[in-house]
A and B are shown apart, each in its own frame.
Chain A
């Protein structure tokens, strides 16, 4: 069974750094891209970017470029989303998802990130 398991909820202060993870199982991790999607409280879905785990090539939405970094470690079938300096506006649920021919076929359970002083 294809599965993406994300790391647990985080509570951080503005200015702190953070890395959340997404571990794939039940499929060949390097065969499909991983995308990250943000959902702010009570709001819709926003595509942040994607990574090809086979070579770590990335595409970012301009809305997120420069503020987050997407990476992957294929040796442990895990993708990451990281911030070097969090803002209160980063408070959201973050989902990873497998991109099969660009459609988002399987999703992780989500990681809630809360940024508050």
Chain B
């Protein structure tokens, strides 16, 4: 099955600085990598995803990069704001079976200090 490791577990940055969260995965056949943001007590929300046919995807202040050779992908948040404070989860799909269940990373608690 897929094994996803996420680092760091906690990250504090000053408002306006950038934040980077990294994930590695084990299954070289995985080809879809979403990132979710979860505020305390709320649902995980998809913020960006990338498929393996591209190396980078950007949406305003958020970007994701993918290195298939090294089997890792990263979330980049620029010009951080206090409302970016939340737990962020990466995920990768199992490639066995048709349901493509997601395996989630352990999460990163991001705190943006005003």
Q: Do A and B come from one complex?
A: no
Q: Give residues in B with beta carbon < 8 Å to A.
A: none
